[in-house]
Amino acid sequence: MKILQLQVGALGTNCYIAFNEETKHGIVVDPGADGDQIVKAINEYGLTIDAIFLTHGHSDHIMGLAEVREATKAKVYIHEADAECLTKASANLSIYMGPGTEFDAADVFFKDGDVVDAAGMEFEILTTPGHTKGSVCIKCGDVVFCGDTVFAESIGRTDLPGGSYKEIIDSIKTKILTLDEKTHLLPGHGPATNVDWEKRRNPFLQ
Ligand SMILES: [Zn+2]
Ligand SMILES: [Zn+2]
């Protein structure tokens, strides 16, 4: 699996494109903004996108969704607890960043422990509520796309609607820190990290 990382939008959200180098089939995680740039990268690599995975429904992770969905015709996945974020601007918080933006509903809802087959790869869904009710982390081999659940030496904020400090700490400790220590963590903002480093250095997890 090859992974491209694009920093998009005012909050520097990490959008990831993961693909199989032989088949050129791939998936997009969190098309947070700048949909035209994401589509450009997809086309430059000659990729067929089979699925668009959303780690949660905040506007900084979905503002490029309409363009990427239109260009790829890929199915959109989100956890049901964040599904309303696509269809209600007040739920995705875009109304606080400018004109509210709404989208067509998702095609598929993630459930805990789901294994989604896409682009010839298997993606395991780890439900990790705390940043939002429907936050998920998505594991493929030794890589986890973490959204805003865990960052390098930090964690997602829990003061927004649906947030819970107790839940995010529980989620990280039971779903992420229990993974193999070498597992790569690719957060929704900031640099990549790994399980071992966060176990030892993340001040919120000591
Ligand atoms: Zn968020
Ligand atoms: Zn974010």
Distance 23 CA to ligand 2 centre (A): 30
Instruction: Write the pLDDT tens digit of every residue in 22-45.
Output: 999 999 999 999 999 999 999 999
Distance 148 CA to ligand 1 centre (A): 5
Distance 58 CA to ligand 1 centre (A): 5
Ligand that lies nearest to the alpha carbon of residue 135, given by its number in the listed order: 1
pLDDT at residue 98, as a whole number = 86
Distance 160 CA to ligand 2 centre (A): 12
The domain limits of the chain are 2-205
Distance 22 CA to ligand 2 centre (A): 31
Judged against a pLDDT cut of 90, whether residue 8 lies above it is answered with yes
Assign 4 to helix, strand or coil: strand
pLDDT confidence bin for 50, thresholds 50/70/90: very high
Distance 57 CA to ligand 1 centre (A): 7
pLDDT at residue 97, as a whole number = 85
Please state, as a whole number, how many other Cβ atoms lie within 10 Å of the Cβ of residue 95: 14
Ligand that lies nearest to the alpha carbon of residue 162, given by its number in the listed order: 1
Distance 156 CA to ligand 1 centre (A): 7
Rounded to an integer, what is the distance from CA 205 to the centroid of its chain?
21
The CATH H-level (homologous superfamily) assignment of domain 2-205 is Ribonuclease Z/Hydroxyacylglutathione hydrolase-like (3.60.15.10)
Closest-CA residue to 187 (of 179, 39, 195): 195
DSSP per-residue codes, 171-185: HIIIIITTS-TT-EE
Distance 135 CA to ligand 1 centre (A): 8
Q: What are phi and psi of 204, to 5 degrees?
A: -80, -10
Judged against a pLDDT cut of 90, whether residue 123 lies above it is answered with yes
Instruction: Write the pLDDT tens digit of every residue in 60-107.
Output: 999 999 999 999 999 999 999 999 999 999 999 999 988 899 999 999
Ligand that lies nearest to the alpha carbon of residue 7, given by its number in the listed order: 2
Instruction: Write the pLDDT tens digit of every residue in 151-202.
Output: 999 999 999 999 999 999 999 999 999 999 999 999 999 999 999 999 999 9
In degrees, to the nearest 5, what angle opens at C-alpha 16 toward C-alphas 94 and 191? 90
